[in-house]
Chains A and B, each alone.
Chain A
Amino acid sequence: GAGVSQTPSNKVTEKGKYVELRCDPISGHTALYWYRQSLGQGPEFLIYFQGTGAADDSGLPNDRFFAVRPEGSVSTLKIQRTERGDSAVYLCASSFGPPLRENLDEQFFGPGTRLTVL
């Protein structure tokens, strides 16, 4: 079956522009996560969706970043007024169920979108 897919694979934009990054999770997965991976670093959590709602957005760096998941499947990460410091690989992951201590489902990661802000 298909894994997590992300589009585009690469995005180059100019400082100040708006970008949207898309994530298609594995079919049937209710939990969806966004992470950001800067050069030479591990992924850093941005936001977690359970169904359509953002259960935890504590990792979003500021109000230029926003994410939606209107139908509980596909998610879009939106970045307004991009800055050079936003350049990174944005990773999406999904899991079958919510992250519960008594039953922690594996997170499956997509290949990422490499965002370059010039």
Chain B
Amino acid sequence: AQSVTQLGSHVSVSEGALVLLRCNYSSSVPPYLFWYVQYPNQGLQLLLKYTTGATLVKGINGFEAEFKKSETSFHLTKPSAHMSDAAEYFCALWGDSSYKLIFGSGTRLLVRP
């Protein structure tokens, strides 16, 4: 069975501080992994994705994530948080012969001034 676990439903950081959003996965086949961001009343937007190749993936808005197979993790980071980063973030997995993305339950990022 495939699953995605996001630790922490809410994460609060100060503006300028490091952002770390955690994602662990379970998959019987090599996974493709994604991070999406959702702003209020807007659709999900792809931040970055890992399919094959380099395990450190850079995305939009200064975010990056590292695929660590030994830890079954794909944590999202950003060196310095901006107020505009406040949103909900979803980690997702695509890996087997089905057609669906499997999402985690999401982490709401709060950025304090």
Q: Do A and B bind each other?
A: yes
On chain B, which size bracket covers the interface?
20 to 34
- B101: chain A residues within 8 A (beta carbon): 33, 35, 43, 45, 107
Give the complex CA separation of A55 and B105 in angstroms: 26
- Chain B, residues 91-104, CB within 8 Å of chain A (1/0): the string is 01010001111111
Once the chains bind, are B90 and A42 in contact (CB under 8 Å)?
Answer: yes
A42 touches B103 (CB 8 A): yes
In B58-85, which residues have CB < 8 Å from any A CB? none
* A interface SS class: loop
Contact B9 A40 (CB under 8 A): yes
Residues on A with beta carbons closer than 8 Å to the beta carbon of B92 = 42
> Per-residue 0/1 for A92-112: is the Cβ within 8 Å of any B Cβ (1 yes, 0 no)?
010000110100101111111
* A56 and B99 within 8 A (CB): yes
Per the bound structure, the CA–CA distance linking A64 and B75 in Å amounts to: 38
What is the number of residues of chain A that contact chain B, defined by CB distance less than 8 Å? Answer: 28
Residue of A nearest to B92 (CB): A42
Q: Is the CB of B105 within 8 A of A109?
A: no
Provide the bound-state CA to CA distance between A35 and B92, in Å: 13
Shortest Cβ distance from residue B74 to the other chain A in the assembled complex, whole angstroms: 14
Does A14 touch B at the CB level, under 8 Å? no
Q: Across the interface, do A48 and B43 meet the contact criterion of CB distance under 8 Å?
A: no
Q: How far is the CB of B14 from chain A (nearest CB, A)?
A: 25
Please, how many angstroms separate the alpha-carbon atoms of A6 and B110 in the complex? 28
Instruction: State the B residues within 8 Å of A (CB).
Output: 4, 6, 9, 32, 36, 41-46, 49, 51, 90, 92, 94, 98-106
Show the binding face of A for B, using Cβ within 8 Å.
3-4, 33, 35, 40-45, 48, 55-56, 58-59, 91, 93, 98-99, 101, 104, 106-112
